Structure 1
Amino acid sequence: MMRRLNPLKVILIVLFILLIPCFKLNAENRYIVKKGENLYEISKQFHVKIEDLKKVNQLKDDKILPGQNIIIPNYGNKEIVKRDSISSTNKVQKGKVNLEKKDGEKIESYTIRSGDNLFSISKKFGVSIEEIKRLNGLNSERLKVGQKLILSKKKNVDEEIEEIGDGDPIEPLQSEFDQIPQDNPPTIEKWKGEEERTLFIRVVKTFLGVPYKLGGMTLRGLDCSAFVKKIYEIFNVNLPRTAREQFRYLFSKKIEKKEELREGDLVFFKTRRNSNLHVGIYIGNNQFVHASSRNGEVKIDHLDTPYFQKRFISGVRVKELEVDS
């Protein structure tokens, strides 16, 4: 006597037969799940949709296990790339940063692996948790395996030097920015005390992370000279608008030796465009804060990094303590 087939089994068999021609499956289009992998990572690896992976493997959710044998759908218009044949340069390696260039920017990213969290990634790559969340628009610290995190964005250009004004052409400065004539050189203002200068540095650091915007003068975006001007306005010092004008205005207060710089001094740099300047505020320990076009925000940099070391022109003193004079 023949046993009756379970109706549910009949439906599943029919569905399976119907799915075969849709995906043109063969014995080679199979993949064994490795530890730490998920459907998102596998779908990106083989250029297929997560929904198709779930459908052809009859998965009710996104959960898969290490060692599980899954079918990779072949759409018929391109050959499936086997994981083992992928060049090592395209593999996701633990602790490795992926580099790519997009729209004139160099983007560094990292693909989340099993066991990763924002704290461990922050420690591994030296990027603060706040910065990682800002770059990736994260509202929480929840991460998914296979998720791609941007660690930094850098423009492939020198620091943009802003000369906004009215758009008139810029007259070149003299060779190495020497001997700039001044009719009425300014007097150096005095700090009320060490406490005021300390407060000044604290205010400078509150601007860290403010977006860079060429010509901008607000917290929604500002350029390097606007940043310097806005900070000093808080302390009742009115500086010219552009970096070049600031340097000309304060030229008589020039400080050529880095060892003589004090907190609050301005530091100026030249770039490939000899008529332009970049400016930041010295905060001690060979560090300065500036609105960086390369990084797209106000940030801290070091005077001894090769880029700034070879472009440093001089510092200038805007305010001083009695002990500095």
Structure 2
Amino acid sequence: MPTLLDSFQLKGLQLKNRIVMPPMCQYSVMAKDGKPNDWHYTHYTSRAVGGAGLIIMEMTDVDPDGRITDYDLGLWSDEQIPAFKRIVESCQAYGAKVGIQIAHAGRKAEDAEVPVSSSAIQFSEDYKQPRELTTDEVKEMVGKFESAFKRALEAGVDVIEIHAAHGYLIHQFQSPLTNKREDVYGQDRSLFGVEIVKAARRVMPESMPLIMRISAVEYADGGYDLPYSIELAKRFQEAGVDIFHVSSGGEGTKGPASAGPGYQLDLAKEIKGALNIPTIAVGRMEDIQLSDEAVREGKADLVAVGRGMLRNPYWANEASIALGGKPLTPKPVAAAYSIR
């Protein structure tokens, strides 16, 4: 079996190792008009210097009112492309591959005057009352995703990730808790996500893998479980998804009974086995041995380390050294790890 340090190839994507920096919003640093700034440039480039094989840039929205907050990134305008391209090219210069997570927050868009959703159901008393998108507006939303995918490609990404997890808009359509529609998008709750996947595949090169992040289970009364999400994932796989980034939760205010190290790892394993498809494990995976074992034991193909990389931009480099590998950083930094 491969290890965390081994290369990974899928279609035209070649990663130098199986360590992923997952998307993590940088709310506290204002992104003017959805454009990443110098903070984002430093944030992502430093993890590329630190040796990550794949960097997935944070939730980037298809509409100004699709952002969680007005401090978040967006790709609803061609004017935003150059700022993303600068970061993508910088990371690639240090050997990392780069993706962008494309999304819409739906009813969780905190700063939208009137959020939109699959149905007019409020997330909680702390959130605004959303309005239900019309059938025509749903079709228009698919077009907004397609335009954002094109802009991500213009920015030079190696992969694209669709955010269908954590209670955001695509998740809102696929969950029985939040989709009470009577039109075609209510009769088939996977349809909105399927159409977005097909939109991505229309504009992406065939050689470029498409990643989708999903919540495998919901921690809410009446929420869906793993068998339900496996059936959803099958539909998305048929439509063109190549890798699932397996997370959980988001549609309810509850969380898992335990969120210790690797608490979502078995979910990635189950989806990988059921669909015979590569998966990315995520969720408290900062323990180096745990991450390596996840790959060695075939539970996941790639491991995303969020908190660990926030604390330490060189987490991947230090994981390599701890596992007996070579420094992953450029020579000026690698010298700090020399025993001579």
The normalised TM-score by structure 2 is 0.22
- Which protein has the bigger helix share? 2
TM-score normalised over the length of structure 1: 0.23
- Specify which structure has the bigger relative contact order, considering alpha-carbon pairs within 8 angstroms and separated by 6 or more residues: 2
Greater share of residues in strand: 1
